[in-house]
Structure 1
Amino acid sequence: MCRWLAYSGDPIYLDTLITQPDHSLVQQSLNSRLNFNQAGKLLSTNGDGFGIGWYDQRDVPGVFKDDIPAWHDNNLANLCHHIRAHTFMAHVRATTTGAIQRTNCHPFSYKNWLFQHNGQVSHFPKIRRELQFAIAPELFPHIHGNTDSETFFLLAVTYGLMDNPKTAIERMIEKVLTTLTQYDSDGVLNLSLAISDGTHLYTVRFSHNEAPMTQFYSTNTACLEAFDNESLPAIPNGCTVVVSEPLDNRDSHWQAIENHTFTTIKHNQVTTQPLFS
């Protein structure tokens, strides 16, 4: 299980969300409050690597990631302090699938697309071969790690992510569920996704046979009102922040995204559609 955030709006410095709030993403890598496993145990530490991906003036996003804990990397703090972006995402990892190595850290990228994931699929070692055989041959060389997340991403690209993101995600989910249930009718699939082409931000919340991963969004400029810190930079009007868990302690600032939905975001325009509709 992991924690992530994503942003769409006017350019801001990445540290506005990633390092500065009292319950920032880096703080969540040490002290998550809502990250529960299937048994209901709180997984407070997400120290198996991190990554950031951002869009500025170029079509292809920048990506920086490493397999050390986010709280332990001064380069992350320094980069976030100097990079401004209109769309970005960030991720701290607590692995359930795949080794602790840089190639398994999120976000994953392909051309102008970024993808990050929180969740799991059961029996991945058993179904991995069949899922990866469904990836388009020209995309197969882009598998660099051994996570379920990277496989989900390249399956979605195979199924037309760049032309119709919602349909591609639905086809990916159907393929994973069909393959999974061949091994275990009670198998679990849990997806909390953030995806972007640099123009739009998309999120997915879906679960099968397990309580869904948490996912919230805010268009409230006060969504960084902190526990103790009163010197945080302002979030501009017309922006949206999506998170695994809120960055402050004000529930009124955040709206939960419903399960089994596909959400499209551009600045503060948020449209949520049911999956498979």
Structure 2
Amino acid sequence: MCRWLAYSGTPIRLEDLLYRPRYSLIDQSQHSREGVETTNGDGVGVGWYPVDAAGEPALFRAVGPAWSDVNLRELAHATSSPLFLAHIRASTGTPVQQSNCHPFRFQNWLWVHNGSIREFARLKRDLVLAVDPELYPSMAGSTDSEVMFHLAITYGLRDRPVAAVERMAGLIESVAHRHGVPDPLQMTVGTTDGDRIWTFRYSSEGRSRSLYFSTDMTALRALHPELDTLRRLSEETRLIVSEPLGEMEGAWQPVPESSYGIIQQGDDELGRFAPAGP
């Protein structure tokens, strides 16, 4: 499987989350505590929206392990962003190549995924045929994650993200049922249009991979008034992670099973996620 994080808030250097925390994403690439695999060394990527810039996000993806990528370290030290997604990959069977590394990008959208489609090779043809033909040329890799992304776009991700991902999940379960594949879908997903972040935690078997969100800044400052760094972050700052970046009491809350969340200006949202039939 994989590990990922999504950040929105006061612009910070990428290294502040990728490298500096005790259990940073780079540390998790070798020492994951809650993943299926301890090591996630089959690629790394980060997509970010530059400060004071509009349009497509920038993207860095590499096939080597995150812990030894000197280019990533240089980029993370020099780059600040108010919104970014980062991912470390553990392949579930598809090749280790750059086009299979996350995040995936389409126009102003980014997408990261941890999980898998069970027996994807058997289901892939039916799933790919459901992708909008106009989107097909933009699929460069061979992963189930990229197919899921393009199915979500096909079903209206750009207009109704939650409904689109519910239809995507429903299609996968329907196709799997026809092929006799039980409990086909395992996913935690992070996706963003550069303004809001949507996150999803769901599995067909009801035992989804780990996912957490940070406590709101007001509550976190009240819990830890001794931490000056928290004062520099805006009230809107939020973080979604596959597993906590540290052990600060009260900082992390688990995303409920079968749910979605929306990180946005003003009140965030948390709701029930249920696949929709095709």
Normalized against structure 1, the TM-score is what? 0.91
Measured in 1, the distance between the counterparts of 2:15 and 2:230 equals 9
Query: Residue type matched to 2:64 in 1?
Result: I
User: Does residue 1:46 correspond to 2:40, yes or no?
Assistant: yes
1:49-98 superposed Cα distances (whole Å, 9 cap, x missing partner) = 00000012122100000000001111101111111111101000001031
- TM-superposed deviation, 1:237: 2.8
Q: Aligned with 1:167: secondary structure?
A: helix
User: Does residue 1:216 correspond to 2:209, yes or no?
Assistant: no
- TM-superposed deviation, 1:250: 2.8
Q: How many residues align?
A: 265
What are the within-5 Å matches in structure 2 for residues 1-277 of structure 1? 1-36=1-36, 43-56=37-50, 57-209=53-205, 211-220=207-216, 236-238=233-235, 239-266=237-264, 269-276=267-274
Query: Residue type matched to 2:139 in 1?
Result: I
Measured in 2, the distance between the counterparts of 1:50 and 1:233 equals 28
- TM-superposed deviation, 1:161: 0.4
Measured in 1, the distance between the counterparts of 2:42 and 2:77 equals 22
Query: Residue type matched to 2:160 in 1?
Result: N
Measured in 2, the distance between the counterparts of 1:48 and 1:132 equals 24
Task: Tell me how large the CA RMSD over aligned residues is.
Answer: 2.0
Query: Residue type matched to 1:20 in 2?
Result: R
- TM-superposed deviation, 1:210: 5.4
When residues 202 and 235 of structure 1 are mapped into structure 2, their CA distance, relative to the original with a 3 A threshold, is farther
Q: Aligned with 1:144: secondary structure?
A: coil
When residues 104 and 232 of structure 1 are mapped into structure 2, their CA distance, relative to the original with a 3 A threshold, is farther
Mapped contact 1:189–1:210 kept (Cα < 8 A): no
Measured in 2, the distance between the counterparts of 1:242 and 1:142 equals 27
Mapped contact 1:46–1:93 kept (Cα < 8 A): yes
Q: Quick check: 146-155 or 53-62, which moved more? A: 53-62
Aligned to 2:223: none
Aligned to 1:226: none
Mapped contact 2:207–2:257 kept (Cα < 8 A): no
Measured in 2, the distance between the counterparts of 1:138 and 1:80 equals 34
Percentage identity across paired residues of the two chains? 38
Q: Which segments of 5 or more consecutive residues in structure 2 lack a partner in the other structure? A: 221-226
Query: Residue type matched to 2:48 in 1?
Result: W
When residues 85 and 267 of structure 1 are mapped into structure 2, their CA distance, relative to the original with a 3 A threshold, is farther
1:104-146 superposed Cα distances (whole Å, 9 cap, x missing partner) = 0000000000000000111100000100000001100011111
Mapped contact 2:201–2:258 kept (Cα < 8 A): yes
When residues 232 and 31 of structure 1 are mapped into structure 2, their CA distance, relative to the original with a 3 A threshold, is farther
Measured in 1, the distance between the counterparts of 2:254 and 2:150 equals 27
Measured in 1, the distance between the counterparts of 2:88 and 2:255 equals 20
When residues 174 and 87 of structure 1 are mapped into structure 2, their CA distance, relative to the original with a 3 A threshold, is same
Measured in 2, the distance between the counterparts of 1:259 and 1:219 equals 18
Q: Aligned with 1:252: secondary structure?
A: coil
Query: Residue type matched to 1:143 in 2?
Result: M
